[in-house]
Amino acid sequence: MELMKARFKGHVKLWARDAGKPASKWELVGEIDNLIVDAAIDWIGYALVDEAAKYDTGITYCAIGTDSTAPDDEDTTLGSESARNPITTKSYTPATKTIALSTFFAAADCTINMKEVGLFGADATASTDTGEMINHALLNYDNSGGTKDLTIDIDITLAEGS
């Protein structure tokens, strides 16, 4: 009998539309697989043994930044966080072992040349560089003119095959 191994994998999609336009006007402008950092694995371990109340909160914020340094397993913050918003929608699908998270950024909230994105939870707040980092990805999109609303969709697959 072969045992299934946990394999965490992330994937990020970036959608843009002209500010204030209807939902039907979203356009996929970038996507990439992302790194699930070591802190996320530790967080799961602590949550499973109920180590401290902060681990019971879940993933609560998505952050974007302007640093293009390659993500590393040891990352605990973005290289240069510029904005963060609460997760807009989140769900878990047991059949595919996938967590789906989506975050909306109004054009006025993301007037940057975005280079990176990450998820944060546990004791994360609306303040930059707070909480436990879950993932980190490089995803380039120049919205420095502030003309586009952005939606960032991140899927985290908890296990695939054996």
Q: Give the pLDDT mean for 98-120.
A: 96
How are strands ordered across the β-sheet holding 27-36? Answer: 81-86, 59-65, 113-121, 132-142, 27-36, 9-18, 148-157, 98-105, 89-93
Count how many domains the chain has.
Answer: 1
8 located within any domain: no
The token duo for 121 is 């939870």
End-to-end CA distance of the chain: give it in Å, rounded: 11
Domain membership of residue 121 as a residue range: 16-157
Residue 120 has pLDDT above 70, yes or no: yes
Q: What is the pLDDT of residue 50?
A: 67
Residue 9 lies in a domain: no
Is there a domain that residue 151 lies in?
A: yes
**Which helix (H) or strand (E) segment is 44 a member of?**
helix 38-48
Average pLDDT, whole number, for the chain? 88
Report, in angstroms and rounded to the nearest whole number, the Rg of the chain calculated over CA atoms. Answer: 16
68 three-state secondary structure: coil
Instruction: Return the H-helix or E-strand segment holding 92.
Output: strand 89-93
Cα 132 to Cα 134: distance, rounded to the nearest angstrom: 6
Whether residue 3 is contained in a domain is answered as: no
Q: Is 1 contained in some domain?
A: no
Can you give the pLDDT at residue 161?
52
Do you know the residue count of the chain?
Answer: 162
Task: Give the pLDDT score at 8.
Answer: 80
Domain assignment present for 162: no
pLDDT per residue as tens digits for the range 70-97: 999 999 999 999 999 999 999 999 888 8
Which pTM value belongs to this model?
0.87
Residue 162: pLDDT band with limits 50, 70, 90: very low
Strand partners, 93: 98
In a domain, 27, yes or no: yes
> Are the C-beta atoms of 59 and 134 separated by less than 8 Å?
yes
